[in-house]
Amino acid sequence: MEKISQIKLTFTVCTILTMFFFGQQYFWAYSNDKEFNFWADFSYQAIYHYMWGILFFVIIWLAKRFRIEKNNLAVAVPLHIVFGLMVAFVHRFFSFVPYIYIFYPHKTGDGFISYGMLNKVISGAFDSFLAYFFLLGLYYGYEYYKQYKEHLIKSQELETQLAQAQLQALKMQLQPHFLFNTMHAISTLMEENVAIARKMLTRLSDLLRQTLDNIGVQEVTFQQELDFVKSYLEIELTRFHDRLQVEYEIAQDVLNAGVPNLILQPLVENAIKHGISPKAEGGKVIISAKPVNDRLELMICDNGKGNGSAEITEGLGIKNTRLRLERMYKDKYDFIIDDKNEKGFCVIIKIPLVHL
């Protein structure tokens, strides 16, 4: 199939060149009031260019068989000079001699080919010799470009595979992180309220099932991510009783938007651990999601103790989230930490809005 495509392309190029140079010759003759032999001139241009079309495949074979490379220049270049002379002579002979015999037989002289015709073949072969190296360079240029594209594709594939491996490693850090924290909370409650601890174990089993269902999955719908966070928050609501309130501000048209798997949970956990837990009276966590132009804006806020004027230290949850966003979206994301000066803490994520 590729060979047929090459033949079709070569035929098309030869046809275009034939028509172009024939039209140019006709325009020159017409402009200068010169005699113009339509069929003779058209035939010459056709024979000349289609002969190159045939010889082009010979040049390709020679280019592959005797490839010019850095380590064999001393051998390959002289060989191609010889091949260039031979191809130039063949091209000139078979494009010029048949033309003369068909349209100007009176100029052939005695014998098969006269001295004058042979002289014109040899002297006219210089252009064909240059054309040989032009076509040779054209082929090598195409081959090097194709190799460059293949190398670029392979590099991109390797980069993608590396990014996927890094994302999976980051995700694997998060999964045991929140599971161990939840198990610790349950073990503490076992000494205080066995019934509530059992309820939390049931919720934890739901979380484990959802986690196992999405092993190896880097992107899920926002609805799936929200369901996971709600399962996690049911455990926290059981543990904190009335000290924790959760508010959702979710736009319905973003529920099927794609988001990184397990992107909200570590941020919600961070808000509860550092914002709500230290306050005796507890507080509220607000989870919002809405479209903003062509982006999805996710926001996790708490009205806890905030960070005050202290320098923000990124723990595992925030650091890991930032790295995952960078791996998945490169420079097409925003990750904003809004410290409300002891009146709470917000993390805002903006990513491309793509519906799955």
The answer to which of 30-44, 79-93, 326-340 has the lowest mean pLDDT is: 30-44
Residues 6+ away with beta carbon under 8 Å from 43: 99, 102, 103
User: Hey, how many other C-beta atoms are within 10 angstroms of the C-beta on 177?
Assistant: 18
Structural domain contains residue 185? no
- CATH number for the domain spanning 242: value is 3.30.565.10
In a domain, 173, yes or no: no
Given a cut of 80, whether residue 276 has pLDDT beyond it is yes
Residues 249 and 307 grouped into a single domain: yes
* pLDDT at residue 222 greater than cutoff 90: yes
Distance of alpha carbon 253 from alpha carbon 241, whole angstroms: 32
pLDDT at 353 over 90: yes
Chain centroid to CA 223: 28
Residues 6+ apart with CB under 8 A from 208: 179
| Contacts of residue 78, Cβ cutoff 8 Å, sequence gap at least 6 | none
**Three-class SS state of 150:** helix
What is the rounded CA–CA span in Å between residue 41 and residue 23? 10
Let me know if 290 is exposed, middle or buried by CB neighbors in 10 A (0-12, 13-18, 19+).
middle
Number of domains composing the chain? 2
Does the residue 165 lie in any domain?
A: no
Residue 161's pLDDT band, with cuts at 50, 70 and 90, is low
Residues 213, 71 share a domain: no
User: For the residues of 223-269, what is the DSSP string, one character each?
Assistant: HHHHHHHHHHHHHHHHHHGGGEEEEEEE-GGGTTBEEETT-SHHHHH
The range of the structural domain enclosing residue 200 comes to: 190-352
Same domain, 225 and 87: no
Residues ≥6 apart with Cβ < 8 Å to 241: none
What is this structure's pTM? 0.52
* 147 plus 65 within the same structural domain: yes
More confidently predicted of 6 and 251? 251
Helix axes 222-240, 115-189, angle to 10 degrees: 20
Q: Is 322 inside a domain boundary?
A: yes
Q: At what angle do helices 115-189 and 38-65 cross, to 10 degrees?
A: 50
Give 44-50's long-range contacts (Cβ < 8 A, gap of 24+): 44/95, 44/99, 44/103, 45/17, 45/18, 45/21, 46/18, 46/22, 47/94, 47/95, 47/98, 47/99, 48/18, 48/95, 49/14, 49/15, 49/17, 49/18, 49/21, 50/14, 50/18
For residues 36 and 298, give the distance between their C-alpha atoms in angstroms, rounded to a whole number.
76
What pLDDT is stored for residue 84 in this prediction?
A: 87
Give pLDDT tens digits for 171-203.
545 456 666 767 777 777 777 777 777 777 877
Determine the pLDDT at residue 290.
94
Question: What is the greatest pairwise CA distance in the chain?
Answer: 121
Structural domain contains residue 53: yes
DSSP 8-state code for residue 111: S
pLDDT at 334 over 60: yes
Is residue 108 in some structural domain? yes
